[in-house]
């Protein structure tokens, strides 16, 4: 179990991975505790002064002009949560709820939300005991915060709704008491602070980002294996070509591909009929995969910032003694980031499917039709490529940007919304589709390697080949492939091929500095022996 210390400085992307791997333990640092207490004093002082504060002694949204009496301030917060528990649909997954809770703790711990420390302590205790509220997945438009899903999360803190604990669904009050807690009674501003914010959208987008990273690395490995299986031209991977394009993702993608095909005797050997130039699906791998990497890198930076952001309203500024109302709850940055992840996933899968199609075509690959001897009696990988094409088409339909599809709510008060929650929610399905597509290419490329050279020749590719063959044997005659496709796709999503792609997202960290090509840059006809652009993953702190 990962242990994290929470401070106003924030969390790194490496730390934000933790809730997606399993239960986490968090502790509040002294600086976080001090910030929370100073922020709460701003609210108590303002109430004592008789100030009118949105969401504290007023109604909400279009009802902000309605004053609330002092004796009803706690009741206002209770009714806020109850009235906003209107989510529908299947519950969010355990890892998304866990990540949402962590990101909410990060937000509250910066001292701009005005909540009591006891509120944060309750959220921390639930997280540490893996008491996860049952949160419906639908009902948020990603502005004014993820109001409906966060209300279900907060409702569990107050004794409303149910939670999952130890794999069982229980009434929230029962679960809280099992760890020595009573349901909280929300004080002034606390309900607003807890349900305003982009934490659900951000958690969904982070899940999509981490899955996309795994798919990306598997696709790099698959593309390299296909290049060798089809006797492609490694000239297109030459570092000198990439450097003058100046695109950092392209430079990194090409370096990873070069490392995988390095020392390949297959690629270094000329023969009659070898193509002078490869189709774009091979020749432009650095350009397309590199552009996808740049999108993922940008999304990682935005989501790391957002995970460490204060996104509720109104906001306390203890150093100035003021309360300011704004719109930090609007999810547009998250929506845009999620949309770019969707675009990257779509293109990663699209390029992979084209390489699989090339492997099927004997006139292009130089291999047996549909990668099987005795084609006709055997169909080989013919239908596997059809499945791949179907999945690519499905992802294209899902890649339409959610961020441009605003719909007004709250009697026009909330007249522009981000749809960030929807943008993030569809990413897991897209990543799964893309993983299937890449799994099919890996199987086809391994088959092609067997047909061409009795297995992968380059040392790094031999390890990729072995990982595929661990799950899927050589196809001597037709058999059911669906189960093998499922298993390899699961390996991809779990990160088994991450070491082969060797590319990790930097987030807010510094990207590798481009270097001037040296005289030892590989020749156009020989695969390079320089390694991938590797470095410690997720090392950056929050800005």
| Ordered DSSP codes for 37-50 | HHHHHHHHHHHHTT
Residue found under tokens 């130039």:
277
Would you state the structure tokens that stand for residue 359, as one six-digit string? 């492997």
| Candidates 54, 280, 436, 465; catalytic one | 54
CA distance linking residue 134 with residue 136, whole number of Å? 7
Separation CA 45–CA 385 (nearest Å): 66
* 313/107 Cα distance (integer angstroms): 12
6: β partners: 28
Catalytic residue check, 436: no
Is residue 425 classed as helix, strand or coil in its secondary structure?
helix
**Cα–Cα distance for residue pair 520/338, rounded to 1 Å:** 40
- What span, in angstroms and rounded, lies between the C-alpha atoms of 451 and 375? 13
The strand pair at 162-165 and 168-171 is best described as: antiparallel
Calculate the dihedral angle through the C-alpha atoms of 152, 197, 64, 161, rounding to the nearest 10 degrees. 10
Q: Tell me if residue 2 falls in helix, strand or coil.
A: strand
CA angle 154, 22, 429 (to 5 degrees): 80
Q: Where do the H-state alpha helices sit in 113-269?
A: 117-128, 147-158, 172-178, 190-195, 199-229, 239-245, 248-261, 265-268
Would you please indicate which residues are annotated as catalytic (active-site) residues?
Answer: 54
């Amino acid at each position: 179990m990962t242990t994290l210390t929470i401070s106003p400085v924030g969390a790194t992307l490496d730390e934000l991975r933790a809730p997606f791997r399993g239960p986490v333990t968090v502790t509040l640092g002294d600086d976080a505790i001090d910030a929370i207490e100073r922020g709460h004093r701003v609210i108590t002082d303002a109430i004592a002064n008789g100030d009118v504060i949105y969401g504290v002694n007023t109604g909400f949204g279009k009802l902000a002009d309605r004053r609330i009496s002092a004796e009803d301030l706690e009741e206002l917060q209770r009714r806020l949560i109850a009235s906003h528990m209107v989510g529908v649909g299947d519950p969010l997954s355990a890892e998304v709820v866990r990540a949402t809770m962590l990101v909410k703790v990060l937000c509250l711990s910066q001292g701009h939300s005005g909540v009591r420390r006891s509120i944060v302590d309750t959220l921390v205790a639930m997280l540490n005991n893996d008491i996860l509220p049952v949160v419906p997945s639908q009902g948020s438009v990603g502005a004014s915060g993820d109001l409906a899903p966060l209300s279900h999360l907060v409702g569990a803190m107050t004794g409303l709704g149910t939670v999952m604990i130890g794999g069982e669904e229980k009434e929230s009050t029962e679960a809280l008491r099992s760890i020595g807690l009573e349901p909280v009674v929300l004080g002034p501003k606390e309900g607003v602070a807890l349900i305003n914010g982009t934490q659900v959208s951000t958690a969904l987008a982070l899940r999509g980002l981490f899955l996309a990273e795994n798919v990306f690395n598997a696709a790099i490995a698959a593309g390299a294996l296909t290049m060798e299986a089809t006797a492609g031209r490694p000239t297109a991977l030459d570092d000198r070509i990439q450097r003058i394009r100046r695109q950092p993702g392209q430079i990194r993608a090409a370096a990873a591909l070069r490392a995988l095909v390095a020392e390949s005797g297959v690629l270094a050997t000329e023969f009659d009929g070898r193509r002078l130039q490869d189709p774009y699906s091979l020749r432009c791998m650095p350009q397309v995969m590199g552009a996808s990497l740049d999108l993922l890198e940008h999304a990682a930076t935005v989501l790391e910032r957002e995970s460490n952001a204060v996104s509720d309203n109104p906001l306390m500024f203890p150093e100035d003694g003021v309360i300011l109302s704004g719109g930090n709850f609007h999810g547009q940055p998250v929506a845009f980031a999620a949309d770019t992840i969707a675009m990257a996933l779509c293109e990663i899968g699209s390029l992979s499917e084209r390489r699989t199609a090339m492997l099927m075509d004997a006139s292009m690959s130089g291999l047996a039709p549909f990668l099987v001897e005795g084609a006709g009696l055997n169909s080989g990988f013919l239908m596997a490529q059809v499945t791949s094409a179907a999945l690519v088409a499905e992802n294209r339909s899902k890649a339409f940007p959610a961020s441009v599809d605003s719909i007004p709510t709250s009697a026009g008060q909330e007249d522009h919304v981000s749809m960030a929650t929807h943008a993030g929610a569809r990413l897991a399905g897209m990543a799964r589709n893309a993983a299937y597509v890449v799994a099919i290419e890996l199987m086809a490329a391994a088959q092609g390697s067997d047909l061409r050279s009795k297995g992968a020749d380059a040392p790094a590719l031999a390890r990729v080949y072995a990982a595929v063959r661990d799950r899927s044997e050589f196809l001597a005659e037709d058999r059911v492939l669906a189960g093998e496709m499922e298993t390899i796709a699961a390996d991809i999503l779990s990160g088994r091929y991450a070491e082969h792609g060797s590319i990790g997202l930097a987030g807010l960290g510094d990207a590798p500095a481009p270097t001037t090509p040296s005289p030892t840059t590989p020749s156009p006809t020989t695969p390079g022996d320089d390694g991938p652009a590797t470095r410690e993953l997720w090392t950056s702190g929050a800005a």
